Structure 1
């Protein structure tokens, strides 16, 4: 266990025994009696514990926020480079993390926030264990991976055609049929997907991994050089999860949830197109639900518009407090 002295009363890094291996948790908060939010990062394998300074300070006034580097990701992968997750294993990991945090903070339930891949994991978890979730917040919510890629491809094609960018159009057309009738995360698909993401990034429709991202990572108080190794190994470590993700479709089951559901979406997110989540949201039956679309935010919604994102979270928190 490793503690850090900071301005926050709750500021803790630790490795906890979870489902047979030690897994990394990063806690930040201002009051122990605040609700505990478990942040489920994207990817699979792309930890967001290294980005907390870019968006999270205000959150910590209303939540104790805990980041978990999942099996096959970040500091957990660095410590266990041969432990690769399957979906069943990861859901069990998550269950044990939740039980640990409930006991640590004396909470009956946690707030679950899932971003991108984390929204897949979070949506499945709250269906399986609704008793553990006070409410769920989906960000960059994934509903159907195949539909995501089809809609995102058409959007970037429209943008390229409207701009008269013949060079980019030629690059896009060279990819051929995309994404196809189904998604298999093999080398051919990953190559095509990489080209689509690059063009989406050019038109600010998807995340661009540039020097700015790495500068933010290097500034994190918990950054270690082993984090770079984990980033380079994340595709191999999460191969089983990528295959699961390729066929993922929330609509395979009725959109009925036993916990309140909230979505905060980027109105310029075409990596996990917000229009798909917006349509699915209308189908949801839940004790309470709400949706906020931030017009100038993309897939990294909380980093793109941190103040507006915080306002949305604060309103959700107040709504849930009034219904407690």
Structure 2
């Protein structure tokens, strides 16, 4: 072999060596010790537990009753999606779809175990109150958590699977598995769309329309807004509307405790905006103030009075008026009397709508009327429930349902002539002033507030405690008001001493005459304004 042949042979062999695949190309690299450890099921389970339990503790601390505002709800959806994704990656399995929600729910419920109220305590589906509490409390919260968390878990597990396939660690699936995967991905995409829509839905805030002139532009000098009023360490929302910010101010207090009447005021109170700056207060824990619930220990009768006085002072200062008008409906009429009794110099007149005098006495009459009706109509189930519960007051507010929740059955009347109709306060829960979260949660939070505050009203009886007021008093009472309220209101009215007083009967109304016959109520308020203006 010549030197040239030897050189050619050496070059050829070197070329073969250079072109030969390296060991790393012919066989997958050995996983590192850390990778092996992270791949162990118990590590993934521990990581999932840490992430979901940590999220549950944070949520239980910040929102023990679940999200109460659009921001809290949107954050809940986003966080649940992220936590689900982290769980799917950690477990490397679609089992995260089940495991992550279970960890969250158990931890969240244990952490908030001491929180009080029908929406957060024992699940009771044996009554309308119990069903409302469950659906608007746990049901809504679970919806915001579970669907995004499950979607996140699917995406996280799918991400890990795609990484394995990319590294050649997973063999090709047979055709039937590919079909199943395709269908699963379609379901995942659909769930993703639902989560996006859910996030958009809960993020929408409430708003109130401007008061406009004939040309459709905002009326100069008018006011139409939500104001946040500082009352100690809380902020309460007040809807303020009027055609002129120089008009007399009217503060309206809703019933309940726990009620919100932004819808009723918008649907049926527009005429009042002609002559008044109408300030509709959402009391602590209600309506647009529902996120001001905690701590529950702040729910006291004294704080309810102080809150309303703080709002009164805000309105006086803002609109430059020494005294304002005070209107309260149902529980709001109780609060109104207490305000007028304590600080009469702040108010020009008090108007009580569906006036309450003694909650305890009224409830006992309702109980007796319901029991008599049940027996006379042969409703053995209702009679047995009432007899088992005994007469009020009750420590479990669900017991009030058969006693006072049957009012329309025991004392029916024709609602068709009235503006509000048979829907009454329910028809006002879905106006644009409420965010979507508030629309869903209003009824449930009403029960929580009621449970906190109503037991503290049992010793009130104006026939003994408030027999005189230093400002003019007007009572608006429906002809078909239930005897448990009407008889006591008339009795108190007769003994009440005031600079002037009037009891106006609304002929086709029951407990809510200002909404049932709004034109007649506006006429009454025009007379009140004329009688009391300086």
TM-score, scaled relative to structure 2: 0.54
Residues 1:307 and 1:209: Cα distance change in structure 2 (over 3 Å): closer
CA distance in 1, matches of 2:425, 2:494: 34
**Rg larger in structure:** 2
Structure 1 stretches lacking a partner, 5+ long: none
CA contact (8 A) 2:234 2:292 kept: no
What is residue 395 of structure 2 aligned with on the other side? 186
What is residue 97 of structure 2 aligned with on the other side? none
1:158 to partner: Cα distance: 6.3
State the SS of the aligned residue for 1:11.
Answer: strand
State the SS of the aligned residue for 1:97.
Answer: helix
1:287 to partner: Cα distance: 0.9
1:232 to partner: Cα distance: 0.9
Residues 1:89 and 1:63: Cα distance change in structure 2 (over 3 Å): same
Q: Per residue, is there more helix in 1 or in 2?
A: 2
State the SS of the aligned residue for 2:406.
Answer: helix
Residues 1:4 and 1:229: Cα distance change in structure 2 (over 3 Å): same
Q: Which has the higher contact order (CA 8 A, sep 6+)?
A: 1
Residues 1:303 and 1:178: Cα distance change in structure 2 (over 3 Å): farther
What is residue 67 of structure 1 aligned with on the other side? 280
What is residue 525 of structure 2 aligned with on the other side? 313
CA contact (8 A) 1:78 1:230 kept: no
CA distance in 2, matches of 1:245, 1:277: 16
1:235 to partner: Cα distance: 2.6
TM-score, scaled relative to structure 1: 0.86
What is residue 30 of structure 1 aligned with on the other side? 243
Equivalent position to 1:45, from 255, 258, 261:
258
1:174 to partner: Cα distance: 4.0
What are the equivalent positions in structure 2 for 1:251-290 lying under 5 Å apart?
A: 251-270=463-482, 273-290=485-502
What is residue 165 of structure 1 aligned with on the other side? 377
Equivalent position to 1:133, from 310, 325, 347:
347
What is residue 451 of structure 2 aligned with on the other side? 239
- How many residues are aligned here? 313
What is residue 299 of structure 1 aligned with on the other side? 511
CA distance in 1, matches of 2:390, 2:523: 36
Structure 2 stretches lacking a partner, 5+ long: 1-206, 213-218
CA contact (8 A) 1:142 1:272 kept: no
CA distance in 2, matches of 1:34, 1:249: 34
- The CA RMSD over aligned residues, in Å, is 2.8
Q: Per residue, is there more strand in 1 or in 2?
A: 1
State the SS of the aligned residue for 2:387.
Answer: coil
Equivalent position to 1:223, from 434, 437, 448:
434
What is residue 5 of structure 1 aligned with on the other side? 210
